Amino acid sequence: MATDKELSDFLKSVEKRAFKRTAYTVRDEEAALDIVQDSMIRVAEKYAERPAEELPLIFQRILSNATMDWFRRQKVRNAVLVNLSEFEGADDDGGDFNLLELLDTSTTGTATESAADSVGRLQVLEIIDGEVARLPGRQREAFLLRYWEELDVAETAAVMGCSEGSVKTHCSRAVHSLAKALRAKGVSL
Amino acid sequence: MNRFSAEDARRTEALEARLGLRLAASLTALEVAKPDRDVNERLRFAREQALARGREARRTAAASSLHGARGGTAVMSGPDTNTPWWLRVSSVLPLALLLGGLIFIDHQYSRAQIEAAAEVDAAILADDLPPEAYRDAGFVEYLRSARQ
């Protein structure tokens, strides 16, 4: 069972990322704050008795469900699904683009520093943020859960309600899309 | 060929993961470099509210379970050793009385039926007419016309 402090520390550690992830999806800061707060309340009220190590997965599931509930309430779910299906069709993210070109430049720390110096560190970060926001919904969800929340493939699949294969595909496409978009803007990591 | 493809896929997957983690780290870096103080403050408030609601829910659940446990003991007269023996007996007494009453009523009813059957049998046997007479259609017709 998670203690009050463990629960508090856990929520503190995830709240900002949860907000950002939700804001990416609903594109409305007020709504994102409401969704995160509702999710935190649900965890605190109903799942505080669970072991602390189970909380991340539980919270991410609750947050995803709360976000979907918000879309249902807004009666825009159909529009979202249409958008998602369009995004699923965008299959040419990987295409002929060679991921290794960008990844090779990302193997050294000095490359990171020089890129940050030339473009301006904050500007680079904002460009990355913008490109993540532009990712198709499912790809962004998989990308953020896998690499930002650092869930494993099985956990991400459980949160997203899809197969592990789909998670891998979404993640791969997301990374390729980001790499391609960033290269097009002259950003290297 | 297949082995090469599998290794190639693994290598690509690893590179994707490295790039993915680096990009995700950039998002964290952006949060640190450009924090939204208003949002952070509201998140802090939301968290405190959630924790308070959680504490309240647990307190309510604990109180209701304690109340439920006490109620259950009183009704069932369970393992509470503080309850006097006469109180425990008195809680079972109405049930025992009801059961006894039902058995008595059943016994009385059966006895009344047996006595009624015996009376009918005795009347038939004591009559001048033999019981076979009632099976005769002509005699039944005679009785009916005599009644009219």
pLDDT value at position A18? 94
Least confidently predicted of A28-37, A91-100, A133-142, A143-152 = A91-100
Average pLDDT over residues B119-142: 81
Chain B residues 54-83 within an 8 A CB cutoff of chain A: 54-55, 57-58
Q: How far apart are CA B25 and CA B39, in angstroms?
A: 20
Are A45 and B19 an interchain contact pair (Cβ–Cβ within 8 Å)? no
Query: Are B27 and A20 inside 8 Å of each other by CB?
Result: yes
Contacts of B19 in chain A (CB under 8 A): 99, 102-103, 106, 175, 178-179, 189
Asked if residue B47 belongs to a domain, the reply is no
pLDDT score recorded for residue A131: 93
For residue B92, being part of any structural domain is answered with: yes
- Report yes or no: A36 and A18 within 8 Å, Cβ to Cβ: yes
Distance from CA of B68 to the nearest CA of A (A): 20
Q: Are A38 and A154 in contact (CB under 8 A)?
A: no
Percent of chain A with pLDDT over 70: 76
Q: Does B26 touch chain A (CB under 8 A)?
A: yes
- Measured CA angle at A157 (ends A155, A162), to 5 deg: 160
**H-type alpha helices, B34-84:** 37-76
Is B48 part of any domain? no
Q: Quick: pLDDT tens for A75-113.
A: 655 555 555 544 444 444 444 556 656 554 444 444 445
Looking at the structure of chain B, the number of domains it has is 1
Report chain A's mean pLDDT, rounded to a whole number.
81
Q: Provide CB contacts within 8 A for B144, sequence distance 6+.
A: none
Instruction: Give dist(CA B85, CA B71) in Å, integer.
Output: 18
Rounded Cα distance, A183 and A91, in Å: 19
What is d(CA B1, CA A117) in angstroms, rounded to the nearest whole number? 43
Mean pLDDT of A139-168: 93
The token pair at B128 is 């001048």
Torsion angle, CA of A84/A85/A87/A90, rounded to 10 degrees? 170
Q: Is residue B97 part of a domain?
A: yes
Q: Closest to B47 (Cβ–Cβ): which among A15, A29, A174?
A: A15
| B102/chain A closest Cα distance in angstroms | 49
Mean pLDDT rounded to a whole number for chain B = 82
**Does B135 map to a domain?**
yes
Residue B76 within a domain: no
Chain A residues with CB-CB distance to B13 below 8 A: 168, 172
Q: Are A173 and A94 in contact (CB under 8 A)?
A: yes
Q: What is the pLDDT of residue A13?
A: 92
Is residue B107, in this structure, part of any structural domain at all? Answer: yes
Chain B residues closer than 8 Å to A11 by CB? 47, 50-51
Q: So what's the pLDDT on residue A119? A: 54
Using pLDDT thresholds of 50, 70 and 90, give the confidence band for residue B31. confident
Whole-angstrom CA distances from A19 to A16, A34, A41, A61, A67 are: 5, 9, 14, 14, 11
Predicted confidence at residue A108, as pLDDT, reads 45
The winner for highest mean pLDDT among A142-146, B67-71, B86-90, B118-122 is: A142-146
| Residue B24 distance to chain A (closest CA, Å) | 5
Length of chain B: 148
Measured CA to CA, the distance from residue A159 to residue A142 in angstroms comes to 9
Domain that residue B124 falls in = 85-148
Is residue B27 situated within a structural domain? no
